[in-house]
């Protein structure tokens, strides 16, 4: 088999999934991750579709079901905590045949990572600073370690991919802003909890939601509109907290209390809501996967599942091509591009439903959510977005869990 030694940049969702399937196919993966440990915190994701199927192939579903959340309701409230819209979350189970669960993105990442810790070289607290492609390999320069040589390099390092920057160009060439930013944090002991209910409150162009997690923790998610000329999200946590306090200063409901909780948050996720759109996901011996290649935005609700799907297909095509990277990379893109493009188009439309920018938009969004209780309407409106049209190829992975 050609090109066995493969460096994967990123230990989130796509990277460890790719490492799992590459190893199952007989390759030798190495993962490099800038963070000193696996990342925690962040936000919760709704997990379904092909990603759910791949998790099943990896033997992860029992543990996902155990640590995940099975929602009862999405509830929209006003400033007096009165329910103004929403729907029963059982509709998602109906539309997906019961193959739908909500869980923390960091928990999914940890479960996947545990499948590879004994079978892959992991370089934590390190980052790539140089990539030099050659005819028969890639010389990779690290920030702290000696330069190493690999057969292939795969960037699985997310929206702000360093591999993409070094090989394809700066992020502004590929990023499409969707007009929003998002922040998320979690704290212990917040009351009330509203178990198994996703509670959200809106003002025009602003949303804040809370979600009860296990072990008396509560997750808060903010989504707010930003203008085309606004500066990128600040990187300093104190500046991020100050921006949230300024934007939500006049918001009602529980917002004053939630903003006070910012000081207790151990970590804060804060970023603009964007998509990555590229003409190609590979160049020579380097390829991209997951958000690094085609970030659909966190508003898509399926980013992690798509990352797992792409990682599975990329590993499968490399195995099927016996490591011939040119052939495998072409097949990987040809198989996934129409599917991913449709998901990105859907996500761009869906983003505005979180935080409509006008009172009229909020009214219409709430009317639509109320109407989901009408039999058959939810299937008509969102059923197509919940059903994945792509059929997973039957790749042969001798070392897979199932």
Question: 20-59: per-residue pLDDT in tens?
Answer: 999 999 999 999 999 998 888 778 888 988 999 999 999 9
Q: At what angle do helices 105-114 and 14-24 cross, to 10 degrees?
A: 20
Percent of the chain as helix, strand, coil, to the nearest 5: 40, 25, 35
Question: 157-188: per-residue pLDDT in tens?
Answer: 999 999 999 999 999 999 998 899 999 999 99
DSSP string, 267-319: --EEEEEEEE--S-SEETTEEE-THHHH---GGGS-HHHHHHHHHHHHHHHHH
Q: Reply yes or no on whether the pLDDT at 401 is more than 80.
A: no
Q: Reply yes or no on whether the pLDDT at 134 is more than 90.
A: yes
Question: 306-361: per-residue pLDDT in tens?
Answer: 999 999 999 999 999 999 999 999 999 999 999 999 888 887 777 778 889 999 99
Cis upstream peptide for 192 (omega within 30°)? yes
Q: CA-CA distances (angstroms) from residue 174 to 69, 121, 318? A: 34, 31, 26
Question: 268-290: per-residue pLDDT in tens?
Answer: 999 989 999 999 999 999 999 99
Beta bridge partners of 184: 221, 269
Question: 59-110: per-residue pLDDT in tens?
Answer: 999 999 999 998 889 999 999 999 999 888 777 877 778 888 999 999 999 9
CA-angle at 314, arms to 312 and 320, nearest 5°: 100
**How far, in Å, CA of 15 to CA of 324, rounded?**
20
Contacts of 201 (CB under 8 A, 6+ apart): 76, 77, 78, 79, 207, 208, 209, 251, 252, 253, 254, 255
Q: CA-CA distances (angstroms) from residue 120 to 27, 214, 401? A: 10, 31, 16
Its pTM surpasses 0.85: yes
């Amino acid at each position: 088999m050609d090109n066995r030694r493969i460096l994967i940049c990123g230990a989130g969702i796509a990277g460890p999934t790719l490492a799992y399937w590459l190893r199952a196919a007989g390759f030798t993966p190495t993962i490099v991750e800038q963070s000193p440990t696996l990342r925690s915190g962040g936000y919760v994701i709704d997990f379904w579709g092909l990603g759910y199927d791949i998790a099943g192939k990896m033997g992860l579903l029992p543990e996902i079901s155990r640590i995940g959340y099975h929602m009862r309701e999405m509830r929209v409230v006003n400033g007096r905590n009165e329910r103004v819209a929403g729907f029963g979350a059982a509709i998602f189970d109906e539309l997906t045949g019961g193959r739908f669960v909500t869980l923390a993105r960091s928990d999914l990442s940890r479960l996947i990572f545990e499948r590879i810790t004994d079978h892959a070289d992991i370089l934590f607290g390190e980052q790539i600073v140089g990539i030099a492609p050659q005819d028969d390999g890639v010389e990779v320069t690290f920030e702290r370690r000696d330069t190493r040589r690999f057969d292939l390099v795969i960037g699985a390092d997310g929206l702000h991919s360093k591999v993409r920057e070094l090989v394809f160009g700066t992020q502004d060439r590929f990023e499409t802003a969707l007009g929003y930013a998002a922040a998320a944090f979690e704290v212990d002991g917040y009351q009330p909890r509203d178990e198994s209910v996703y509670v959200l409150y809106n003002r025009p162009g602003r949303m804040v939601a809370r979600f009860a997690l296990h072990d008396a923790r509560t997750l808060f998610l903010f989504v707010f509109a930003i203008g085309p000329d606004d500066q990128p999200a600040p990187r300093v946590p104190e500046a991020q907290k100050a921006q949230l306090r300024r934007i939500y200063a006049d918001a009602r409901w529980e917002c004053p209390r939630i903003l006070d909780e910012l000081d207790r948050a151990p970590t804060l996720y804060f970023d603009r809501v964007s998509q990555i759109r590229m003409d190609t996901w590979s160049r020579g011996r380097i390829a991209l996967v997951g958000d690094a290649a085609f970030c659909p935005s966190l508003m898509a609700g399926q980013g992690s599942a798509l990352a797992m799907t792409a990682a599975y297909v990329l590993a499968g095509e490399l195995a099927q091509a016996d490591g011939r990277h040119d052939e495998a990379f072409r097949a990987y893109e040809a198989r996934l591009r129409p599917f991913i493009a449709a998901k990105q188009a859907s996500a761009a439309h869906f983003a505005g439903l979180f935080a409509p920018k006008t009172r009229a938009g909020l009214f219409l969004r709430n009317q639509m959510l109320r109407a989901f209780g009408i039999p058959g309407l939810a299937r008509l409106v969102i059923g197509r977005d919940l059903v994945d049209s792509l059929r997973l190829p039957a790749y042969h992975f001798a070392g897979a869990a199932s």
